Structures are given as structure tokens and as C-alpha cells.
């Protein structure tokens, strides 16, 4: 794959709009803001969820959501993905009925909540994942990745109020997705990997969001052994990462970072005197979000 095979399009008029307001000096200003829109996802004939999303890459988002929620298994045969932009609906069709649809039928019959059962299934799947121990992360790659991602035009730099996720290999950013929720951004990457048959073993995953339990679970479900972020951690996220053998690297700003899980995958080969400081605009956006 080439670098930045998929990137955000900050000039896409469907994704932002310009609004007028007033600043701290009571002067009129005009700024770009993210547009949110609903997207209702169906699995065959069953409505699954309505998500608030920026609206790009609906096919990847739909597939990635179903995979990361364990509603769609990697060996399930997807026969079609239909997207209706006017209705804000995406329908994923499979050759055979999925386990999730059977659980949803049970939920309807008993008037109970199937979410706990689905979460239990996710955790069982999480416990069974074996991440490769062969993948390494050189700190020279790390700093190169941060520089390339920080300078890539994005909605994050243009407007803030959005999260980004980037699939990487060594020092190459490959797939860069953004959305109003970090869960949507990671699901888009997962869907793109599935639809393009991209293997996870030698990949790393970058997110602008916090390293929460949700982010750890999704990354492990995707089979990616290294997760890194500009932001901090939650205790349960760290606990799950250690349980799964996931390398978890956070608070990565400028030359600094912290590793709380999977330290053995890092190779410290970078010369800090040659590492550039972080752009001020990126630092400001990180504080804003």
C-alpha cells in the first residue's frame, strides 16, 4: 500500500459549514464547524443502530461497526452494501442470517435488553485474540509518523471537534479516517481493512482520542498489536491492553510519550536532537478537543 491511500478531505463541502459568531473582543468572526448527520444501519432486514457521523465512507463505517461489535464475523459472506444518501440509511446484506439477528429476535420476544449479551460476546472474542509478538515499533518510525500525520490536511486541523484514526505500517501512514466520534473513526478503518483484505499483524494504529477500554477492545478485535495516541489513558484501558498483550503508547506530543503496556515491542533508535517540535496549531487543536 502507498502512503495515505485514504485521507480526509477538508475541502468537501458536505462535511463542514461556515458560521458567524463573536469572539472574546466582541468582534464578529466566521469559523468552520463540523456537520453531523444521522446514519441508520440495517443488517439485512433488522435495524441495528442510528449513528451520528460526519457522513463520509458510509460503507466502511457500516462494516467496521458490525465487525467491532461482533455482529458480523470475518467469515460471514457479505453480499451487498446499499447506501441511500437521501434517506441516510446503509444496509449490509449477508448470505445467511447472523447470530446477532437471532439475539435481536430474542430481545423483541422477551422485551429484555440484548446489549449485555452482545457485550459479553465481545469480551469472549477479546479474550480469544492472540496478537503477534513479532511486530516492533522503532521510535524513529514513531516520530516520522507523527510528523506526517500532523502535517496532513484534515478536518482536525481545519475545524477541531473531530477525531482521527490512522492505520500505519512502520513509518508509513496508510489509511486516515476522521469522524465526530473516535469509535466511528476506528470502525471506518476496520471496515476499510475488511473490504480491502488488509492484514493487521504488522500494523500500528494511531488515534487522536483517549486510550479507553473501547479503543483497546476495538484495536485488539482488529488484530493490530500496537495502539498509540496523543491523549491519555483510562485504567481499564491499560488493564485490558496488558491482558491482551497490546502495546499502548500515549501522551505522545513532540518528543515525549509514555508506554504503559507492551514496552518490549519498542526499539529506541531515534536521535532526539533531530526530532522536530510539534506544530503550535496541532497543540492548540489538541487542547481544544
Domain ranges of the chain: 37-128, 137-288
Quote the pLDDT of residue 99: 64
Beta bridge partners of 138: 267
pLDDT tier, 114 (very low <50, low <70, confident <90, very high otherwise): very low
Q: What is the pTM of this model?
A: 0.89
For range 152-160, the mean pLDDT = 92
Please tell me the distance from the alpha carbon of residue 47 to that of residue 180, in angstroms, as a whole number.
22
Q: Judge whether residue 193 has pLDDT over 90.
A: yes
What does the buried/exposed string (b/e) look like for 253-262 if buried means 16 or more CB atoms within 10 Å of the residue's CB?
Answer: eeeebebbbb
For range 91-109, the mean pLDDT = 69
Please tell me the distance from the alpha carbon of residue 59 to that of residue 192, in angstroms, as a whole number.
9
Among the listed residues 58, 62, 64, 57, the one whose alpha carbon sits nearest the alpha carbon of residue 7: 57
Please tell me the distance from the alpha carbon of residue 43 to that of residue 91, in angstroms, as a whole number.
6
Quote the pLDDT of residue 120: 60
Quote the pLDDT of residue 10: 95
CATH top class, domain 37-128: alpha beta
pLDDT tier, 284 (very low <50, low <70, confident <90, very high otherwise): very low
Q: Judge whether residue 109 has pLDDT over 60.
A: no
Lowest mean pLDDT among 4-8, 71-75, 242-246, 251-255: 71-75
- The per-residue DSSP string of 135-191 comes to --EEHHHHHHHHHHHHHS--HHHHH-S-EEEEEEETTEEEEEEEESSHHHHHHHHHH
Quote the pLDDT of residue 57: 98
Quote the pLDDT of residue 115: 45
Q: Judge whether residue 104 has pLDDT over 90.
A: no
Superfamily name and number for 137-288:
Cytidine Deaminase, domain 2 (3.40.140.10)
Over residues 21-50, the pLDDT tens digits come to 999 999 999 999 999 999 999 999 899 999
More confident residue, 70 or 172: 172
Amino acid at each position: 500500500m502507498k502512503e495515505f491511500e485514504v485521507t480526509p478531505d477538508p475541502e468537501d463541502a458536505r462535511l463542514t459549514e461556515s458560521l458567524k459568531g463573536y469572539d472574546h473582543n466582541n468582534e464578529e468572526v466566521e469559523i468552520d464547524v463540523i456537520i453531523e448527520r444521522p446514519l441508520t444501519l440495517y443488517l439485512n432486514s433488522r435495524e441495528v443502530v442510528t449513528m451520528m457521523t460526519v457522513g463520509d465512507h458510509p460503507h466502511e463505517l457500516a462494516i467496521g461497526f458490525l465487525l467491532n461489535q461482533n455482529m458480523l464475523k470475518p467469515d460471514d459472506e457479505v453480499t451487498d452494501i446499499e447506501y441511500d444518501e437521501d434517506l441516510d440509511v446503509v444496509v449490509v446484506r449477508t448470505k445467511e442470517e447472523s447470530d446477532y439477528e437471532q439475539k435481536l429476535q430474542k430481545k423483541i420476544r422477551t422485551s429484555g435488553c440484548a446489549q449485555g449479551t452482545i457485550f459479553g460476546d465481545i469480551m469472549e472474542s477479546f479474550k480469544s485474540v492472540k496478537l503477534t509478538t513479532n511486530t516492533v515499533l522503532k521510535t524513529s518510525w514513531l516520530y516520522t509518523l507523527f510528523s506526517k500525520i500532523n502535517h496532513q490536511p484534515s478536518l482536525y486541523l481545519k475545524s477541531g471537534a473531530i477525531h482521527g484514526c490512522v492505520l500505519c505500517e512502520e513509518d508509513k501512514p496508510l489509511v486516515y479516517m476522521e469522524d465526530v466520534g473516535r469509535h466511528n473513526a476506528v470502525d471506518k478503518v476496520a471496515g476499510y481493512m475488511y473490504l480491502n483484505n488488509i492484514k493487521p499483524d504488522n500494523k500500528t494504529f494511531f488515534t487522536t482520542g483517549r486510550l479507553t477500554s473501547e479503543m483497546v477492545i476495538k484495536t485488539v478485535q482488529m488484530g493490530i498489536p500496537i495502539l498509540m495516541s496523543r491523549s491519555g489513558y483510562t485504567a481499564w484501558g491499560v488493564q485490558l491492553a496488558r491482558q491482551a498483550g497490546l502495546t499502548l503508547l500515549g501522551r505522545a506530543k513532540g518528543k515525549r510519550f509514555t508506554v504503559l503496556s507492551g514496552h518490549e515491542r519498542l526499539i529506541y533508535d531515534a536521535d532526539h536532537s533531530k526530532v522536530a517540535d510539534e506544530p503550535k496549531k496541532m497543540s492548540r487543536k489538541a487542547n481544544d478537543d
